[in-house]
Amino acid sequence: MSVLTVDLAIVGAGPTGLFAAYYAGFRGLRTAVLDALPEAGGQITAMYPEKQIFDVAGFPEIKGRDLVENLLRQAAPFEPLYLLDRQATKLEHRDGKPVLDLADGTRIETEAVLVTGGLGSFAPRPLPAAEDFHGAGIVYFVPELAAHAGQDVVIVGGGDSAFDWALALQGIARSITIVHRREKFRAHQASVERVRGLGVPVIVNAQVTAIHGTEFVTGVDIDVKDEGSKTLPADAIVAALGFTADLGPLGEWGLDLDRRTIVVDSTMATNLPRVYAAGDIAAYPGKVKLIATGFGEAATAVNNAAVAIDPDAHLFPGHSSENP
């Protein structure tokens, strides 16, 4: 068994976790950042890396991918240890300090733990028609827009992600068609109108019934209410059907939970000693789930953890502009 020793273990490499890695470094703490996903960035990297984000302070707009890159650059001077594609499975305490076991057999002995796991473990909802198709070309996220250059793309779904991908792929893909099983959409009306204004076909009351191709997708059959069956050309299918989420092993750690969130106090402390939570996974009265909120919670959690680790430390960290 490999054993690592750090001051703070951050469980979750989304925006909140990455900012916490910076702040922990600023406080002089050695940090490990864990995530079950293979890349840093959490849901942003997995679901909307090309989407513009408008509510991060100091950025009138910024792509999700660029926000993640900036957060990684911000933390880089403090050399956090990234343990990606590794799930934290077990938490216990020894001599009052947390010990984390990872699925790959690694053990992390730490002074404190900060859980920034967003919605927990999440997985895309499958496309039923894809069960019998074993070739390439069906995706649930679009991490690289350029991968679909010159392709005929069929997007299945009616939520924000479906219309965001349609807008992002405009001018890159050869053609884009949205297929949705209902007449009404969960997506924001402005996004729907923009997509339709660009002339993107939006086929409603339709289901994908079959996928053509062997090694690669070559087309899809859809069944349209009152119109019957149609075949659409397709080199790629984006199944934007939402996702399911659960806490996974976190739910067995003995944390005080409120549905799929972890109850914290004003210091972001949980009911377990030296275990904190921040970001979407943390719950308290009046909580607003925003990236901006998570950033503030990360700073609060790290500063309080620093005092728990070293009682002689000051809660207020000083101003970053004074840091040499």
User: Which residues contribute to the annotated binding site?
Assistant: 16, 35, 43, 48, 88, 122, 280, 321
Residues facing 4 on adjacent strands:
108
DSSP 85: S
Backbone angles phi, psi at 162, to 5 degrees: -60, -45
Tokens 């703490």 — which residue?
29
C-beta of residue 273 within 8 angstroms of C-beta of residue 294: no
Q: Which two tokens stand for residue 84?
A: 């990606």
Beta-carbon contacts of residue 23 (< 8 Å; ≥ 6 apart): 298, 299, 302, 303, 317
Question: For residues 72 and 19, what is the distance between their CA atoms, to the nearest angstrom?
Answer: 8
Q: Which two tokens stand for residue 131?
A: 């069960």
Question: For residues 295 and 307, what is the distance between their CA atoms, to the nearest angstrom?
Answer: 19
Backbone angles phi, psi at 258, to 5 degrees: -125, 95
Query: CA angle, corner 262, sides to 266 and 84, nearest 5?
Result: 110
Q: Which positions make up the binding site for FAD?
A: 16, 35, 43, 48, 88, 122, 280, 321
Residues facing 152 on adjacent strands:
175
Question: For residues 143 and 63, what is the distance between their CA atoms, to the nearest angstrom?
Answer: 12
Closest alpha carbon to 238 in 308, 315, 158, 182 = 158
